[in-house]
Structure formats: structure tokens, C-alpha cells
């Protein structure tokens, strides 16, 4: 074990040394590069396969097609290089109002999301927000921060492809890779900005993001749903969403004039 820890420490040191700063879509300085995009994609693919293995998928053909329509409409309008990969989605049978997207072009939604996403614009807000995390390199950022932490041995094992051993130790690639750790408020705000822009470019009404948040807050009551537990202050966030929605209406209108008018429901 000492040898493994020592080697992991050396690898972690080498990876941290290779890290670089980058500028996020909102101008924030990020520390990224602890893992390659190929490694991130591999982790995303493994985590998605794990989710499909452990959680039943919906058999409601209408809902599955509805989700697919929204995901496809959103991903067609992503900037390069994100629009050059194939995006795969799955609808899982789970009562939680939750969704996520992973590197490698993977999107997962729980059937509980329909409790708060009442129409295609609100569902597009969910999908675009989660894909916004991928585009803004938040997974890279979070994993880079994790290098050198107590979980570095398990994380580096995952990056090396030692999924069998990782599963035995922790039971989840999703957890060990940091994909399910709470996002920071800065990352959540950034995903809101990126996501609202993407959905407008796809022809969805950006005001759907405002309506989605109101629904989320209503369902959560005094305690916000886990999906939004680290988001900014609800009142200020709502004001920001409303302000951006108004500014993005011309983007939506231009998209619709160009023939991008989603009809997913």
C-alpha cells in the first residue's frame, strides 16, 4: 500500500505540474488540465454505463422521445468542439427532480424532473444548464482541484482504467471522479449563463429557465431540492435569470426565423 501511495503521489505531483490556467465562458480564471479531455471522456462514459446498470430506465416511450427531442435540439446548437461529438441521453426511473451531464457527451435525467419542468422550455433549461457544466469545463476544474486530496489514489486508479478495483473500493466511478460532488456557486451561476444562452440559440424560450427555478423553489419549500443546493441566493438568482431572459429574447427570435423552432411536446 505504501508503494501504491508513493507512486500515486508522484503521479499526482506530475499532473498538478501540468495544470494550466484557463478563462471560463464568463471570464473567470480556472485551474484545469490535471487530466486530459480523453481521460475525462473515458470517465464520463464509464460513469454513464454505471448509471444505466444500476438505475432502471424509463419504459415510457412518449417521455423518452420527448427528452430525446429536447436534448437533440439543444446539442445541435452547441459551439465547437462540443457539437462535433455524439450526445447520448437516458431517462431514469427515479422520483428525484434531478439531471446531469458528463464529459464524453452523456446526459442523464430522472423522471422526477417532470414535476418541475412542465414544458419543453423548462426542460431545455435543465438540459442546457447541465451541458453548460461540460462546456465550461467544470468537471476538469473539479478533478484538477481534487488531485493531491485524500482520494487521489482512488481517482488516479480510475484515470488509469482500474475501474474494477475502484468499484470494489468505493462502489462508484461517479463519486470517486468527483462528478457528483456539489458544484461551487460560481460554477452553478456560470452554468446558468451558458445554459440560458444555449437554449435561446436552439429556439427555446429563455424565460423557461425563470419558470423552472420558480417551480423548483415551490417544490423545495423551505429547503431547496438537492439539485439546486449550492446555487446562488434564490432571489438574486431569479433576478439574474429574468434579466438575461429579456436580453436573450432576440436570440431566440432569430433562431426561430432561421427555422429552429423546437416542437418537442
Which residues are marked as active site?
130
Nearest CA to 102 out of 70, 137, 67, 74 is that of 137
Helix (H, G, I), strand (E, B), or coil: what is residue 150? coil
Spatial distance between the Cα atoms of 143 and 118, rounded to a whole number of angstroms: 34
63-85: b (≥16 Cβ within 10 Å) or e: ebebbbbbbebbbebbeeeeeee
Q: What are phi and psi of 64, to 5 degrees?
A: -60, -45
Do residues 183 and 134 touch, judged by C-beta distance below 8 A?
no
Do residues 238 and 210 touch, judged by C-beta distance below 8 A?
yes
CB atoms within 10 A of CB 191: 25
56 DSSP 8-state letter: P
Amino acid at each position: 500500500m505504501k508503494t501504491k501511495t508513493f507512486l500515486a503521489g508522484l503521479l499526482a505531483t506530475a499532473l498538478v505540474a501540468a495544470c494550466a490556467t484557463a478563462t471560463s465562458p464568463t471570464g473567470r480564471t480556472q485551474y484545469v488540465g490535471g487530466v486530459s479531455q480523453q481521460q475525462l471522456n473515458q470517465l464520463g462514459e464509464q460513469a454513464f454505463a454505471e448509471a444505466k446498470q444500476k438505475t432502471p430506465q424509463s419504459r415510457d416511450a412518449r417521455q423518452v422521445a420527448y427528452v430525446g427531442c429536447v436534448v437533440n435540439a439543444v446539442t445541435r446548437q452547441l459551439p465547437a468542439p462540443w457539437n462535433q461529438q455524439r450526445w447520448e441521453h437516458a431517462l431514469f426511473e427515479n422520483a428525484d427532480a434531478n439531471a446531469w451531464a458528463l464529459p464524453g457527451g452523456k446526459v442523464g435525467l430522472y423522471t422526477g424532473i417532470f414535476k418541475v419542468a412542465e414544458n419543453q422550455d423548462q426542460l431545455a433549461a435543465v438540459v442546457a444548464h447541465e451541458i453548460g457544466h461540460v462546456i465550461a469545463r467544470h468537471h476538469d476544474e473539479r478533478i484538477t482541484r481534487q488531485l493531491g486530496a485524500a482520494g487521489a489514489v482512488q481517482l488516479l486508479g480510475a484515470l488509469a482504467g482500474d475501474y474494477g478495483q475502484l468499484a470494489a473500493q468505493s462502489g462508484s466511478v461517479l463519486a470517486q471522479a468527483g462528478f457528483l460532488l456539489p458544484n461551487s456557486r460560481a460554477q452553478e451561476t456560470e452554468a446558468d449563463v451558458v445554459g440560458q444562452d444555449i437554449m435561446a440559440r436552439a429556439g427555446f424560450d429563455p424565460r423557461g429557465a425563470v419558470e423552472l427555478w420558480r417551480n423548483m423553489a415551490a417544490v423545495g419549500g423551505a429547503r431547496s431540492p438537492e439539485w439546486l443546493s449550492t446555487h446562488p441566493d434564490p432571489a438574486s438568482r431569479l433576478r439574474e435569470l429574468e434579466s438575461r431572459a429579456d436580453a436573450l429574447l432576440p436570440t431566440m427570435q432569430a433562431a426561430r426565423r432561421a427555422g429552429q423552432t423546437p416542437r418537442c411536446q
